Structure 1
Amino acid sequence: MTTDALDAWDAETARLVAVLHDVPPADWARASPCPPWTAADLLGHVVAGVARVPGMLDAPAPPRAEIDAIAYFRADARFSGSTNAERIDLGQRLAAELGGPGLVARLTTARAEAVGRCRREPGGRIVRTRHGDAMLLTDFLATRVLEAGIHGLDLADALGREPWLTGPAAELLTRVYGAADRPGLRRLALG
């Protein structure tokens, strides 16, 4: 499978790895714009999301897609206090276990595996998300582009780096999420 969403996710996660590979160890303890996470905790959250993709592909495909990339972010139990607490805890546990450099190494291998696995999937592949949603893999990957892009911007802020958003990610986010009138999205695109 080759799609705009997969190519954008590949580009955005590759850029994330490239930008983060030389972060000084002490900088990983900086506060992120996503309290209570530090920069390392936030990267732990990103790594956990990327690492989930192969397991989704190993599971049986649902018979039909039920939601799209926009409906995925609807307000329901996925944003409940208990789900948010689990999300926060997992990011913190991974950061404590691996540290910043270890998280970058884990992201490097996890993204390579996930992108490679997605490329081997047939067009029209349907997956079930951790929240129980049945959706086209291409739509799910659009949600991953949004996550990688937004949290990349959060990490840039936390680490005092210039913000970035790759051209493929900016184009996909503009098309899928209707962000065409948001000048910051286009300005951040690297082209």
Structure 2
Amino acid sequence: MNGETVLAAFRAESQRLYEKVCGIPEAEWDRPSPCDPWTVREVFAHLTAAVGRVGVMLAEPEPEPSGALVTAAGYYAPDERFSPGVNEVRIGAAQESAGSYDDGRALAEHFDAVWRTVAAACAKEPPERQVRTRHGDAMLLSDFLVTRVVEVCVHGFDVAAGLGHPPWPTGEAADVVARLLLDGRPYDRPVTVAGAGWDRTTFLRKATGRLPMSASEGTAAERHGLHWLTLG
């Protein structure tokens, strides 16, 4: 996907997420999220750290040019990075991070500062800029930023559900995530099951495990072109 398009989606979705949480009452942050055992506060701390990794990667030396670059879809391959052991570490890190802020508003303000810093840094980089993930993969920055749009959008579903709010994805981010799930195609032909069509947000929530999907629905989604991602 075009790097400028992905960056615009990252900006839009991050701004939307901040606006949705910056004013919620403190008690709301401790509601359970769909990402058991995380609370809303903990899943938000996780996605904040996930966004912040971009800045860490850009501060490191650029990988030597190589033909073995991992794509955004390849980043979600079912391998060690999504193993039970790694997920346990991921869970504990988010819980520890969530406890380091005075309150939810402080966490929200930190996220707002982090994503803005990341967006500004990415805007200065050339299209061919490569980064190395914490798992050792070399990727184009633009492809890694696609995965950060996924983090903010999909965990935004989790935050919204934990708060009891309707999902709020921006059109820009929803299009980026849909194209990742559909091998570059937009979601322009609604998946139809038993005569009912899914809108794009419903498709995204089902395809990422945020809503249940039956076997028949999964078959219909695969006929539509769904490429399954492994998500932690």
- Band of TM-score, shorter chain: over 0.9
Question: What residue in structure 2 maps to residue 17 of structure 1?
Answer: 18
1:3 matched to 2:4: yes
Structure 1 gap segments, 5+ residues each: none
The structural deviation recorded for 1:82 is 2.2
Three-state SS of the structure 2 residue aligned to 1:163 is: coil
Question: What residue in structure 1 maps to residue 27 of structure 2?
Answer: 26
Identity %: 40
Question: What residue in structure 2 maps to residue 185 of structure 1?
Answer: 200
Runs (4+) of structure 1 exceeding 4 A deviation are: 186-189
Higher deviation after alignment, 100-109 or 34-43: 100-109
The TM-score, its normalising length taken from structure 1, stands at 0.92
Is the 2:3–2:142 Cα contact (8 Å) retained in structure 1? no
Higher deviation after alignment, 154-163 or 2-11: 2-11
Question: What residue in structure 2 maps to residue 68 of structure 1?
Answer: 71
The structural deviation recorded for 1:187 is 6.6
Question: What residue in structure 1 maps to residue 229 of structure 2?
Answer: none
C-alpha root-mean-square deviation of aligned residues, in Å?
1.9
In the aligned structure 2, how far is the partner of 1:90 from the partner of 1:102?
18
In the aligned structure 2, how far is the partner of 1:30 from the partner of 1:166?
24
1:82 matched to 2:95: no
Q: 1:74 to 1:188 in 2, by over 3 A?
A: closer
The structural deviation recorded for 1:83 is 1.2
Is the 1:164–1:188 Cα contact (8 Å) retained in structure 2? no
Structure 2 gap segments, 5+ residues each: 192-197, 205-232
Greater RCO (Cα-Cα under 8 Å, separation 6 or more): 1
Match of 1:161 among 140, 165, 181: 165
Task: Give the structure with the higher percent helix.
Answer: 1
In the aligned structure 2, how far is the partner of 1:57 from the partner of 1:171?
26
In the aligned structure 1, how far is the partner of 2:157 from the partner of 2:202?
13
Three-state SS of the structure 1 residue aligned to 2:100 is: helix
The one-letter amino acid paired with 1:153 is: F
Aligned residue pairs, count: 189
The TM-score, its normalising length taken from structure 2, stands at 0.77
